[in-house]
Amino acid sequence: MGAGVSTSPAPRKVGKLAIRWHVPGVLPKGAPNLFIGNSGSGKTRFSIPILDALTDGRPVFGKPTKPTKIFYVMCDRPSQYARDTWEALGFDPSKIPMFSFMDQEIDWSFKYVIDKIPEGTELVFIEALAMLIPEPQGKEPLYKAALGFIRKLNLYTQRTGIDFWASTHSPKMKSGETQSSSRNSGIGSVGLPAGCGTIIEFIETGPSGERLIRFNIHSGPAYESDYCFNAEGHLVEVQQTIGQVILDVWLAKLAPGLTFTTADAIEYGMSKGLKAERTIYNWLSASVGDGLLDKIGRGQYRKRAKV
């Protein structure tokens, strides 16, 4: 993927509210965003490439981002384990300061997270967020304790401008229960998503690493897509992988210097069986970043000549 676009995305109006985004149309600012799934479902391997791209302001999901200072917190594994995962995925963990509760004998507390946040931080990612929820007092339900904790996150964001993303486990379902939506599933877990922004849920669908990922977008339409683990251990969108092969073949047939529009790429991709226009948009953004295309105007591209 290329260097991307570093300008701030324009806010989207929802009623009288102007929403600003870390990743336009997907992951908003101003409210916690959650990654929900069972242990081993791919939450960490999915989020690390996003965080690495954000540090440099590279595109995420084909959307422009700006360089973001991130602090990475682990509640359920030592920091060295996290660094090993970053390196295994081909990323440099030294780019992002890290802190783990598993590296020292201290209580799991949001206060310690606040105390450790480096100056200038814009986004804090917390693994196993539910570990920081205080024990319910007396007969207080866990749901209320979780809501109180999320309120604390939101108030801290309002005061400081520092945002939070976090991972947490899916609920253990009782007989006859179903996960009707990502938001309801998370609420069934510990009440966390009630005051949150976007929720991304990971559902294991096959024995070979297949995943269905649901995107419950804050103030926007929800969608879902099939993903699988590639040879490098990354979770990649199946449709996006197929689309890249199809569109790369198309691009290879075009003469250097030839121009085309977004509509041309969409028409070709759809004629070859691609189902989502965002697959084409993501490919166009990546091809510009990789130096294969020049963007010469709104929705207009030119194939670069080989160097």
The residue among 195 and 101 whose pLDDT is bigger is: 101
CA 176, 181, 184, 189 torsion-angle sign: positive
pLDDT at 131 over 70: yes
For the chain, report the end-to-end CA distance as a whole number of angstroms.
Answer: 18
**Band of pLDDT at residue 172, cut at 50, 70 and 90:** low
7 burial (CB, 10 Å; 0-12 / 13-18 / 19+) is exposed
The rounded percent of the chain whose pLDDT value lies above 90 is: 48
Most confident of 6-15, 37-46, 149-158, 241-250: 149-158
pLDDT at 278 over 80: no
Q: Which domains does the chain have, with CATH numbers?
A: 14-233 (3.40.50.300), 238-303 (1.10.10.10)
> What's the rounded mean pLDDT across residues 1-19?
43
pLDDT of residue 139: 79
Give me the residue label for tokens 């005061």. 159
The residue among 8 and 98 whose pLDDT is bigger is: 98
d(CA 145, CA 154): 14
pLDDT of residue 179: 47
Dump pLDDT digits (tens) for 188-241.
Answer: 445 566 678 999 999 887 766 788 898 988 878 888 888 888 778 888 777 777
Give me the residue label for tokens 């990922």. 213
d(CA 155, CA 160): 9
pLDDT of residue 7: 29
**Band of pLDDT at residue 49, cut at 50, 70 and 90:** very high
What are the CA-CA distances from residue 58 to residues 3, 26, 244, 254 (Å)?
5, 15, 18, 27
pLDDT at 14 over 50: no
Lookup: tokens for 220: 């926007």
pLDDT of residue 192: 65
Whether the CB-CB separation of 60 and 26 falls below 8 Å is answered with yes
pLDDT of residue 119: 96
The answer, as to whether pTM is greater than 0.85, is no
Q: What are the backbone dihedrals phi and psi of residue 302, each rounded to the nearest 5 degrees, phi first?
A: -135, 135
